[in-house]
Amino acid sequence: MPEKMLQNKCSHSKALPAGVCSFCNSSAPDKLLDICFDFINKHLLETICYEDRLTGKLSLNPGLTLPLEICERLLSVRTNSCTSVHSHFVNIFRDTNSTRLKRVRLRKSKIQDSDLEILLKHRLVELEICRASDLTRNCIKYITKYGASLLSLTIEDCPKIFPSNIYSKLDLSNDPFCNNYIFLTPNLKRFAMRGFSQIQPKFYMTLLTMVPRITHLDLSSCGDLGSFNYTDHLIHLTSLVLYNVDNLELLVDAICELKNLRHLDVSQSRDDHGIYEKPSKVLRTLVQSLPKLTSLDISGTNLAGRGVAETTNGHVSDIPGLSSRVNNPLQYLGLYETSHDACLRHDIPAKLIAGNANEEQILVAAVAYLDRTDMLQKVMNELFHMFRFENVVHVGQALNIVLEAMGRHLDERHIQISGRYDSL
C-alpha cells in the first residue's frame, strides 16, 4: 500500500503524543547526524580517539576539542548501544578543557567510582545512574565534592552505593564521608532513589533534611519509609512518586501536609501490597487535602473502592473517594489493575485514564509505565491479547509503543518475547 494511502487511513488517539505512530513516521530516513554518531561510536579509534597501549584507556586525539552537544550525544549513543560505557570510554572526558558535559544518563554501565568523579568534575546539572553494579559507597564523597551544581540526581538499582549492611543500621558517626548528612547537593530540585528496599527510615530522614529545595521526589521500591513526617520542610514539592513502597497507609497523614503536590503516585505492581482498610476514606482524605493535585496514580490498589456511586452537586462519581473532583476532573488518573475493575466504571472524574478497559486506556498505561518493567510486562500482555483477539484501531501508535518498549529494555526477556508477538 502506498505510504500516503497508509497515512490517510491511520487512526490516532488524541490521548497519545501526536508523533507516536510507526506508520506515519516510517518513511522518514535516518537523520545524517544519527548515522554519523553511530559510525563514530563503532569506530572511535579511527575517528576521534587513540588508545593507551598500557592501560587501554581512550583519549581524544591531540588538538581536538568537542563542544557540549557532541559530548553529550556521544555519551548518549554509547549508553543506548549494545556496547556498555566503561572506564576506558569515560576517560575520553577526563580533560574538562577539551570536552564538556552537563547532563549524564548512564544505564547498565561498567564504570568505577573514579570514573564517576571524572564525569562529576564537569560540574553536572543532571546525573542519572541506573544499574551501575560496580559503583560503591566511595562515590558518595564525589557527589558531595562536586554536587553544588546538581539540579537533578537519579540513583537506581546500584546496591553497593548504599549497601544494606551499613545503611539499614544507619550510624553516621562511623561513616568517614558523612557528618550528619548522606551527601550535600544544596541546589537539588529533582531527586529519585529507586530500588533500595532494605534501608531504614532514619536514612531517608537524614537524606532529605539536606535537600529542602526539591520539587520532584521519587522513592520507588524503597521499602519502609516510616511515618514520612520528616518531609514537612519540603514546601516546594510538586511531584511525589511512592511506587511499590511498603505500608503506604502509614504515610497518608504526612502526604496530606504537602500542599503544593500536583502529581502523586502511590501505585503498586505487587499483589496484596496496595490494600487499604478504608480505601475510599483514604483517597477522599488525600484528594481533599491536596488542592493543587492534577495527576494521581492508584494503579494496583483498592483505593477506588467498590464502585458505589456518589453524587456531589448533581454530578456523579463512580469512584467514591474522588467525588469532590467531579467539577474539577484530574488531568491524569492511573487505574491499571485496581481492585473491583475501577477502570471499567462509567463516571470517572479524570480526562486521561491508564487502565485496561479499552484500547486507549491500555495505550496510555503503556506510555505511563515504559520505565517500569514489572508493570510494562503486564501491559505488553494486554497489548498482545488486544492484537490477537480484538480490532485494534490505533495500530500505528500501538506498534510504536511496542518498539519503544523493546528498545528500552533489550535485556528483559519477557518484554522482548511479548514485543515480538505484539509486532507480528
Question: What is the pLDDT, as a whole number, of residue 324?
Answer: 92
Question: What is the pLDDT, as a whole number, of residue 166?
Answer: 75
Q: What is the mean pLDDT of residues 58-83?
A: 94
Look at phi and psi of residue 108 and say left if phi exceeds 0, alpha if psi is from -120 to 50, else beta: left
Q: How far is CA 61 from CA 40, 49, 323, 388, in A?
A: 13, 5, 65, 54
In the sheet that holds 295-297, the strands lie side by side as: 103-107, 126-130, 152-156, 190-194, 216-218, 239-241, 263-265, 295-297, 332-334, 353-354
Q: Which residue pairs, CB below 8 angstroms and at least 24 apart, start in 79-82?
A: 79/105, 79/106, 79/107, 79/109, 81/38, 81/41, 82/410
What grid cell was written down for 164? 544494606
Question: To which H or E segment does residue 50 belong?
Answer: strand 49-51
Q: What is the mean pLDDT of residues 223-242?
A: 95
Q: Which of 73-82, 322-331, 402-411 is least confident?
A: 402-411
Q: Measured between alpha carbons, how far is 102 from 291 in angstroms, rounded to an integer?
A: 35
The residue type of 419 is G
pLDDT surpasses 50 at 5 = no
Domain boundaries, the chain: 36-101, 376-424
What grid cell was written down for 120? 562529576
Residues 178-209: tens digit of each pLDDT = 556 788 899 999 999 999 988 889 889 989 99
